[in-house]
Amino acid sequence: MVKRTQSDDAPQADGAPSAYAGDVTPGQAWNKLSEDPAAVLVDVRTRAEWMFVGIPDLSDLTKEPVLIEWQSLPSMALNPAFAEQFTERMAQIGAGFDTPVFFLCRSGARSQSAAMACTATGYKACYNVVGGFEGDLDPHGHRGAVSGWKCHGLAWRQK
């Protein structure tokens, strides 16, 4: 893990559970998805990002990423049905509250929010993939070369 929201698995001082399980690199997420048949990748980017930028290709793992928008274009308003859609999809694929779930967005911000929201609904192993799918901007203002899923050379495809 890269960092945790807490120094251990203990609840916060007020007795509330940790905000989410922690941050992982794209490589760590891939390894866990490879090792654990139950582990799930949830891509929370927009439909436009899936269509025009690509999606993680988990076919070598005989898996598909779960695609649920956290925000929607053009307003980037929060998806009010996100938690309900997430819970429905997890039930459809047989994922339980202890299933490791890795959240991915463009750079790691939306996915962190999604991991926190799903932890709040009772899922105990929600991780944020730092750097996201495309990562940070390089000195020329381009994504995909500094950090993220693509930069790590992990499998992806056009949708």
Is residue 143 within 8 A of residue 49, CB to CB? The reply is: no
Instruction: Determine the pLDDT at residue 33.
Output: 98
When the pLDDT of each residue in the chain is averaged and rounded to a whole number, the result is: 90
pTM for this prediction: 0.89
Q: Residue 119: what residue type?
A: T
> What is the number of alpha carbons within 13 Å of residue 90 lying toward its C-beta?
24
Is residue 110 within 8 A of residue 137, CB to CB? The reply is: no
CATH topology of domain 22-68+81-157: Oxidized Rhodanese; domain 1 (3.40.250)
Is residue 143 within 8 A of residue 125, CB to CB? The reply is: no
Domain positions in the chain are: 22-68+81-157
Band (9; pLDDT cuts 50, 70, 90): very low
Higher per-residue confidence, 5 vs 110:
110
